[in-house]
């Protein structure tokens, strides 16, 4: 075999090997991306449920405060619940937008950036939900009592003060726990952070890191 023929044979073999490796990488990435999508699916369903609950709470709280605009404490309760419902809807819509805007045909680095932004978003809104959730049960309870025929604020103000005191304690405990979890480097604190970010998000980051390592081989 002449030298030119040998060079041509090696070039052909190299091209076939490169094509084989490229196809293998594409198949590997496709399997991993499917795993990421399935891992994020519970989060998508959760956000859709959150929107539905937010819409339901809005449909209940908006007419309530509108009908009691002349009664300050009922107006305040209704507005608080309406604001909480709108927050649920807006945060969930933002979450879904970030998930569905991920382009899995883009480079892995870009996808990693999108997932990192989704994780950071969850870590920002997690404390907001925790803090508001520690006190929103008070106006919700007062509204439920009112629907049952008892205006607790008027007939049992001391009970309302007791509820508010408990809400303040809950708020303080939640705030202290958030501060501790952010400053701690313990395994438990890291587990809490992964839980707040979303297990699907954390797993997606791990899968993307695996893809990046495979590409570098």
Lowest mean pLDDT among 4-18, 139-153, 158-172: 4-18
Closest CA to 94 of 137, 65, 128: 128
- Give the pLDDT confidence score for residue 148 in this predicted structure: 92
Give dist(CA 102, CA 47) in Å, integer: 16
Predicted confidence (pLDDT) per residue in 41-96, tens digit = 999 999 999 999 999 999 999 999 999 999 999 999 999 999 999 999 999 999 99
Q: Is residue 67 part of a domain?
A: yes
Give dist(CA 74, CA 78) in Å, integer: 6
> Is pLDDT of 161 > 90?
yes
Closest CA to 143 of 101, 82, 98, 91: 82
- Give the pLDDT confidence score for residue 128 in this predicted structure: 93
> Is pLDDT of 16 > 80?
no
Give dist(CA 54, CA 81) in Å, integer: 10
Q: What's 69's DSSP letter? A: T
Q: Is residue 8 part of a domain?
A: no
> Is pLDDT of 9 > 60?
no
> Is pLDDT of 5 > 70?
no
Q: Is residue 33 part of a domain?
A: no
13 torsion bin: left (phi>0), alpha (psi -120 to 50), beta (else): alpha
> Is pLDDT of 1 > 70?
no
Mean per-residue pLDDT for 31-47?
89
Give dist(CA 40, CA 25) in Å, integer: 22
Q: Is residue 27 part of a domain?
A: no
- Give the structural domain span for 186: 39-216
Number of domains in the chain: 1
Q: Is residue 138 part of a domain?
A: yes
Q: Is residue 79 part of a domain?
A: yes
Q: What is the pTM of this model?
A: 0.83
- Give the pLDDT confidence score for residue 100 in this predicted structure: 93
Q: Is residue 28 part of a domain?
A: no
- Give the pLDDT confidence score for residue 119 in this predicted structure: 92
> Is pLDDT of 118 > 60?
yes
- Give the pLDDT confidence score for residue 14 in this predicted structure: 57
Give dist(CA 66, CA 59) in Å, integer: 11
Local structure of 101: helix, strand or coil: coil
- CB burial readout 29-44, b (16+ within 10 A) else e: beebbeebeebbeebb
Q: Is residue 81 part of a domain?
A: yes
Q: Angle, nearest 10°, between helix axes 108-147 and 157-183?
A: 170
- Give the pLDDT confidence score for residue 2 in this predicted structure: 57
């Amino acid at each position: 075999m002449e030298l030119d023929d040998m060079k041509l044979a090696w070039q052909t073999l190299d091209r076939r090997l490169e094509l084989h490796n490229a196809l293998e990488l594409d198949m590997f990435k496709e399997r991993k991306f499917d795993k990421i999508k399935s891992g994020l699916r519970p989060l998508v369903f959760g956000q859709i449920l959150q929107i539905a609950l937010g819409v339901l709470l809005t449909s209940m709280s908006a007419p309530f405060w509108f009908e009691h605009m002349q009664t300050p404490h009922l107006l305040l309760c209704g507005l608080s619940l309406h604001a909480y419902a709108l927050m649920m809807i807006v945060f969930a819509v933002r979450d879904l937008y970030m998930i569905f805007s991920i382009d899995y045909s883009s480079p892995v680095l870009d996808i990693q950036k999108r997932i990192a932004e989704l994780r950071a978003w969850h870590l920002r809104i997690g404390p907001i939900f925790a803090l508001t959730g520690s006190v929103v049960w008070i106006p919700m309870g007062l509204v439920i009592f009112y629907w049952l025929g008892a205006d607790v604020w008027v007939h049992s103000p001391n009970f309302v003060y007791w509820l508010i005191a408990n809400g303040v304690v809950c708020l303080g405990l939640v705030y202290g726990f958030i501060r501790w979890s952010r400053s701690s480097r313990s395994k438990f604190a890291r587990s809490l952070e992964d839980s707040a970010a979303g297990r699907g998000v954390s797993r997606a980051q791990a899968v993307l890191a695996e893809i990046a390592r495979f590409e570098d081989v």
